[in-house]
Amino acid sequence: MVLTTIADGVLDVAQGIYDTGADLFGDTTIRLGVTGLARSGKTVFITSLVANLLDQGRMPHLLAASEGRIAAAYLQPQPDDTVPRFDYEAHMGALTGNPPSWPDSTRAVSELRVSLRVKPNGLLAGLQGPRTVHLDIIDYPGEWLLDLGLLDQSYDEWSASVLSRLEKRDSAADFRAVLAPVDGGGKLDEVQAKTLAAAFTEYLHAARAAGYYDCTPGRFLLPGDLAGSPVLTFAPLPPGDAPRRSLRREMARRFEAYKSQVVRPFFRDHFARIDRQVVLVDALGAIHNGPAAVEDMRAAMSEILAAFRPGRNAFLSQLFRGKRVEKILFAATKADHLHHSQHARLTAIMEALTRDARDRARFAGADTQALALAALRATTEETVQHDGSPLDVVRGTLLENGKQAAFYPGALPDDPAHILSPAANGAQDWLDGDYKVMRFAPAPLTLRPGDGPPHIRLDRAAQFLFGDRL
């Protein structure tokens, strides 16, 4: 009797440890996913977050840091041997170089482990020594999440939806011309298949450059080591017969191979193991590109976020088996382009942009928050006189010519509906004027010992994402 009670108790403790992600040595592991569409700021976010965890002088809102409980922070070999390491040193080297530059664009998934020795707080403070918390940060392109939608579609369904979308797009003119004479029921010709796939890939690049986000299959844009392989050598075809050895039959087969050999493994090996997630959004960039870009981004965001509702998809539900992403942060990046007097408006736009998706994620039990941040602050704020009245501007070094400039991007509306409604209604231009963006170079850094790079609200993001586990 006594024995079983004790044994059960031991099991309970073991189960409790398992639930908090701790292993038998008492170490806790948190897997933090960082995603967002291309150029949304993932690499800069991770680099600055890691630098600010190694030196916590600028992290007052990360409670464990401000309470002085982080005894040590260091980089360690990551646990996954087959995933490329996030090249922290090279990215940090670029940001702190002379002159500083932005890190190169990254094309695939990568991972980094930061380990923290954390002293307990509260009642346990005097009784226990420090614990180790491993933060495994995984950088992956948001475009890969868009591929989840492919799993529910047959090749014909996918073709029909892609072809109807690209009918109206100028960026697809070349692909339409290549496609027009093709007979999908005819015999497979590898040269023709390649030509079609290449023209389709070019269209996807052009569409993305034009501000569209619905550019799947994601690996066509970011092929990595799959470039040129059959899983990436297909394109949509109009409906019709698909006899044996026909082009259409082979395209459909490759589409299925893409799903089973590219999409599913990503979700299984990376996505399903994430505990906490930050989704980065270059909302200012989209606003600058106009209403169509905002609406398109909103649609892409809600597609992306569908991946966080495992119930929607049989394959995902099976992968997650009741486990869930516990917290999701939606962050508008590059907020240093705006004077802080406008940050609340940017946050409100971010909240509105992701409202649908956030309501559903909350329903699935995840804790969500929206925030405007700058992972690396490249500007300073000032107030200038303009036409006799004060104007809040930011000042920085322009990327294009290295000159100093004061910049006023336009006033974001108090009510996010003024951005989202014209976008949803297909407006061509903003009614109330233009929103500009400028690209600033990173500012030269002279860091005091103990300080990481300057940022805006990165500490609040960290507190929301994993502060509760430190």
Ligand X SMILES: Nc1nc2c(ncn2[C@@H]2O[C@H](COP(=O)(O)OP(=O)(O)OP(=O)(O)O)[C@@H](O)[C@H]2O)c(=O)[nH]1
What residue ranges bind ligand X (CB under 6 A)?
36, 38-44, 102-103, 105-106, 141, 333-334, 336-337, 374-376, 378, 439-440
Which alpha helices (H) appear in 217-354, and where do they start and end? 218-221, 247-258, 264-269, 283-289, 291-306, 314-320, 343-353
SS3 121: coil
Pick the binder of Mg ion from 40, 106, 347, 397 (CB under 5 A): 106
Among the residue ranges 13-21, 23-31, 106-114, 197-205, the one whose residues contact Mg ion (CB under 5 A):
106-114
Closer of 44 and 182 to ligand X (Cβ): 44
Report whether 409 contacts 284 (CB < 8 A): yes
Closer of 100 and 236 to ligand X (Cβ): 100
Q: How far is the CB of 171 from ligand X (least distance, A)?
A: 19
Site string for Mg ion, 364-393 (x = CB under 5 A): ------------------------------
Unique residue bearing structure tokens 């890969």: 144
Q: How far is the CB of 332 from ligand X (least distance, A)?
A: 11
Q: How far is the CB of 427 from ligand X (least distance, A)?
A: 26
Side chain identity at 147, as an amino acid letter?
Answer: D
Q: How far is the CB of 441 from ligand X (least distance, A)?
A: 8
Q: Which two tokens stand for residue 128?
A: 């226990």
Q: How far is the CB of 187 from ligand X (least distance, A)?
A: 39
Closer of 88 and 175 to ligand X (Cβ): 88
> Could you give the CA distance from residue 32 to residue 329 in angstroms, rounded to a whole number?
11
* 43 lies in the site for Mg ion, by CB under 5 A: yes
What are the Cα distances from residue 236, in Å, to 185, 241, 296? 13, 14, 21
What are the Cα distances from residue 64, in Å, to 69, 117, 367? 5, 11, 20
Closer of 310 and 409 to ligand X (Cβ): 409
Question: How, if at all, do strands 389-397 and 404-407 pair?
Answer: antiparallel
Report whether 268 contacts 109 (CB < 8 A): no
Classify burial at 467, counting beta carbons within 10 Å of its beta carbon; exposed 0-12, middle 13-18, buried 19 or more: middle
* 47 lies in the site for Mg ion, by CB under 5 A: no
Closer of 31 and 91 to ligand X (Cβ): 91
Q: How far is the CB of 310 from ligand X (least distance, A)?
A: 25
Q: How many CA atoms lie within 13 A of 400 on its CB side?
A: 4
Residue 41 contact partner, candidates Mg ion, ligand X, none, CB within 5 to 8 A by sort of partner: ligand X
What are the Cα distances from residue 342, in Å, to 76, 190, 224? 39, 55, 39
Closer of 43 and 379 to Mg ion (Cβ): 43
Q: How far is the CB of 261 from Mg ion (least distance, A)?
A: 24
Closer of 36 and 184 to Mg ion (Cβ): 36
> Could you give the CA distance from residue 282 to residue 213 in angstroms, rounded to a whole number?
12
* 42 lies in the site for Mg ion, by CB under 5 A: yes
Closer of 84 and 413 to Mg ion (Cβ): 84
Q: How far is the CB of 88 from ligand X (least distance, A)?
A: 13
> Could you give the CA distance from residue 464 to residue 292 in angstroms, rounded to a whole number?
32
Q: Which residues bind Mg ion (CB under 5 A)?
A: 42-43, 106
